[in-house]
């Protein structure tokens, strides 16, 4: 149950979900629309813009060796062509904080949010988008990429394709929210990433990825670059309509990006559950009856991770970095079981020849889960949002033990975790 030498062990975050005060982004505008698709505003989030040093110290003390974070375009280029040096300097300090604790910084250049000016012009549905994104990547990479361990261009580049049908239903059900969102954005709601699925999205997104990859490579040829994809385990009922629906789905949602990934240094795989295809020809994430369900309403399905890695590897032969895998639950014992089972499926895939270079858990801190607000708890570390105090969960300690040992044989005893919620087990106070 050992992992290959040099295996990457990390935790992931995204700027909008934990930095706080990302008011110049399209998502912030949507959160404040009345009525809104968002359960609550992101507000101060986890104040990570100020507390990143302590948070990275916790990650390092746990025993993890990588931190995946995102660079916020809305801060770096608040108006077209106007770049903010202090914003770039902030991310330099984040990178320095990682290296000072022997943590590899893995940066994502786009994680769902755009500056408001980009979205006002049509965002993901505007043909200027790829060049605009590339220009920002060029500037950000020129300042930051040389010091990165790896770079991800676009997070879950295929998510708009996979959300397409669901978002059509959501929009049809809530015309009042659509109207308020469009007023807040000054543009059609499809300009925002999560609603951007359309016939032409893949073309623009693919071009944005390729230009961004080239910009990062030009600045830092030695830094591995890839995109990340949302890849769930796919399973179809044993009837032709279901099988055909699954093939069509994979062809539309995965295949175009798998093709692109063949040119990249790695592919970021992000898996949360299983997608089922029924005889009615529809894709569904609705859990089978009797299945354990997470706070997100997903089926508890940790082994989906190994299945997704196998699918990606078979299609691309591009090395894989698991850039996200995680569970939203109040019960940390279920998180520990989920992590162990997901890692078991990764180890089995590696044993079968799948080239997986690392595992990055989503997420370091309980944070802003997009439209669901702060209720779902994905974090290894809890956050009291009134005081911003951090509380290390037993699952964090367990993952750190596995990481240090580079083996699933470590951290197996439940008794080890009884003391650890105070953070004592990693030698840190609750606030780092
Ligand atoms: C996203 C994260 C999100 C997570 C859990 C992924 O789709 O990259 O931003 O919080 O899933 O839902």
Q: Could you report the per-residue pLDDT of 9-22, keeping only the tens digit for each?
A: 999 999 999 999 99
Q: In what order do the strands lie in the sheet with 274-277?
A: 233-236, 274-277, 283-284
Cross-strand pairs, 351 = none
Per-residue tokens: 265: 């240094």
Residue 431 lies in a domain: no
- Locus of tokens 């500037």: 139
pLDDT tens-digit profile of 176-213?
999 999 999 999 999 999 999 999 999 999 999 999 99
- The reply to whether ligand 1 has any atom less than 6 angstroms from the CB of 14 is yes
Q: Find the CATH number of the domain harbouring 25.
A: 3.20.20.80
d(CA 155, CA 69): 11
Ligand 1 mutation target, pool 113, 370, 379, most atoms within 8 A of CB: 370
Q: What is the mean pLDDT of residues 20-32?
A: 98
d(CA 155, CA 170): 22
Q: Which of 156, 190, 233, 324 is catalytic?
A: 156
Residue 3 lies in a domain: no
Rounded alpha-carbon distances, angstroms, from residue 215 to 212, 218, 289:
5, 5, 48
d(CA 420, CA 432): 14
pLDDT tens-digit profile of 116-174?
999 999 999 999 999 999 999 999 999 999 999 999 999 999 999 999 989 999 999 99
Residue 369 lies in a domain: yes
Give the pairing of strands 274-277 and 233-236: parallel
Percent of the chain past pLDDT 70, that is, above it, reads: 96
d(CA 217, CA 265): 11
* Closest residue CA from atom 12 of ligand 1: 369
pLDDT band at 284 (very low <50, low <70, confident <90, very high): confident
Q: How many domains does the chain have?
A: 1
Query: Whole-structure pTM over 0.85, yes or no?
Result: yes
Residue 425 has pLDDT above 80, yes or no: no
pLDDT band at 424 (very low <50, low <70, confident <90, very high): very low
Residue 364 lies in a domain: yes
Q: Which of 104-108, 142-146, 186-190, 286-290 has the lowest mean pLDDT?
A: 286-290
**Residue 322 half-sphere exposure, CB side, CA atoms within 13 Å?**
35
3-state secondary structure of 414: helix
> Domain range spanning residue 287?
8-426
Residue 2 lies in a domain: no
19 is catalytic: no
Q: What is the mean pLDDT of residues 258-272?
A: 98
pLDDT band at 431 (very low <50, low <70, confident <90, very high): very low
Radius of gyration from C-alpha coordinates of the chain: 20
d(CA 25, CA 202): 23
pLDDT at 415: 54
* Closest residue CA from atom 9 of ligand 1: 14
In contact, 67 and 105? CB cutoff 8 Å: yes
Residue 271 lies in a domain: yes
DSSP-derived secondary structure letter, 267 = E
- The reply to whether ligand 1 has any atom less than 6 angstroms from the CB of 271 is no
Residue 432 lies in a domain: no
In contact, 139 and 83? CB cutoff 8 Å: yes
- Taking the CB of residue 352, how many other CB atoms lie within 10 A of it? 10
**Residue 285 half-sphere exposure, CB side, CA atoms within 13 Å?**
20
3-state secondary structure of 25: strand
Residue 429 has pLDDT above 90, yes or no: no
Enumerate helices (H) and strands (E) in the chain, giving the number of each. Answer: 15, 14
Ligand 1 mutation target, pool 308, 362, 372, most atoms within 8 A of CB: 362
Residue 1 lies in a domain: no
pLDDT at 161: 97
- The reply to whether ligand 1 has any atom less than 6 angstroms from the CB of 366 is no
Q: Which residues of 235-257 are buried (b: 16+ CB within 10 A; e: fewer)?
A: ebeeeeebeebbeebbeebbebb
Average per-residue pLDDT for the chain: 95
């Amino acid at each position: 149950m050992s992992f290959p030498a040099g295996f990457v062990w990390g935790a992931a975050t995204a700027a909008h979900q934990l930095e706080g005060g990302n008011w110049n982004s399209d998502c912030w505008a949507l959160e404040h629309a009345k009525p809104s698709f968002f359960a609550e505003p992101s507000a101060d989030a986890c104040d990570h813009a100020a507390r990143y040093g302590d948070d990275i110290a916790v990650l390092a003390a746990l025993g993890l060796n990588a931190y995946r974070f995102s660079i916020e375009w809305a801060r770096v280029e608040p108006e077209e062509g106007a770049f903010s040096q202090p914003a770039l300097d902030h991310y330099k300090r984040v990178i320095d904080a990682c290296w000072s604790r022997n943590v590899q910084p893995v940066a994502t250049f786009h994680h769902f949010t755009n500056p408001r000016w980009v979205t006002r012009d049509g965002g993901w549905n505007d043909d200027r988008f790829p060049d605009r994104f590339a220009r920002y990547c060029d500037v950000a990479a020129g300042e930051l990429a040389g010091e990165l361990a790896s770079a991800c261009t676009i997070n879950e580049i295929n998510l708009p394709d996979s959300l397409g049908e669901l978002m059509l239903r959501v929009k049809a059900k809530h015309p009042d929210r659509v109207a308020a969102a469009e007023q807040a954005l000054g543009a059609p709601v499809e300009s925002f990433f999560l609603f951007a699925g359309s016939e032409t999205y893949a073309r623009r997104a693919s071009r944005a990825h390729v230009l961004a990859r080239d910009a990062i490579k030009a600045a830092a040829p030695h830094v591995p670059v890839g995109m990340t994809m949302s890849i769930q385990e796919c399973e179809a009922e044993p009837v032709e309509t279901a099988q055909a629906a699954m093939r069509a789905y994979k062809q539309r949602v995965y295949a175009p990006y798998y093709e692109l990934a063949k040119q990249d240094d790695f592919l970021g795989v992000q898996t949360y559950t299983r997608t089922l295809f029924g005889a009615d020809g529809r894709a569904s994430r609705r859990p089978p009856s009797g299945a354990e369900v997470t706070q997100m309403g997903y089926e508890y399905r940790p082994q989906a991770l190994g299945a997704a890695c196998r699918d990606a590897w078979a299609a691309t032969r591009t090395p894989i970095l698991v850039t996200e895998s995680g569970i939203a639950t109040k019960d940390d014992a279920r998180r520990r079981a989920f992590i162990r089972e997901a890692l078991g499926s990764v180890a089995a895939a590696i044993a079968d020849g799948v080239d997986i270079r690392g595992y990055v858990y989503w997420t370091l801190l309980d944070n802003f889960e997009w439209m669901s607000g702060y209720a779902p708890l994905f974090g290894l570390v809890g956050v009291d949002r009134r005081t911003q105090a951090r509380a290390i969960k037993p699952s964090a300690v367990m993952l750190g033990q596995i990481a240090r040992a580079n083996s699933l044989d470590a951290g197996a005893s439940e008794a080890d975790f009884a003391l650890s919620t105070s953070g004592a087990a990693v030698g840190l106070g609750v606030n780092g």
